[in-house]
Amino acid sequence: MRILGLDYGSKTVGVAVSDPFGWTAQGIETIRRKEENNLVNTISRLREIIESYQVDKIVLGFPKNMNNTEGERVEKTLLFKKRLEREFDVEVVVWDERLSTIGAQRILLEADIGRKKQKQVIDKMAAVFFLQGFLDANKSNNTN
């Protein structure tokens, strides 16, 4: 069973995938688009990834504000969730992604990755960060 993590942004989608056992998350890529609402190429690429990795669940980052309120990005993310559910025959769950970008930035800084390179991989790393959190939380839930 593989789980896909998606960090959905206005111009990018960071993509991560779990190992077959659901223990670790690895970054795959960042899908870029020129227009925020044009998802045709994004959906096409996600279809390829889902088929290639035999994904049966998608964890979609849920961008709540730090004070736990929901803003415009949450609305857009929920619309994207509905689109994913229509397009693919997999379960789509939302997962709190607060601090995932900050966590990813810290990891990249500790790895001495330059700022220019960070911009290229930050969305992918944020997807890894919150997908790993999801995997860890479900691991401990399954052992109880």
Residues 124 and 30 sit within 8 Å (Cβ to Cβ): yes
SS3 79: helix
- For 13-35, write each residue's pLDDT tens digit: 999 999 999 999 999 999 999 99
At residue 55, the pLDDT reads: 97
- For 76-105, write each residue's pLDDT tens digit: 999 999 999 999 999 999 988 765 666 656
pTM for this model (two decimals): 0.82
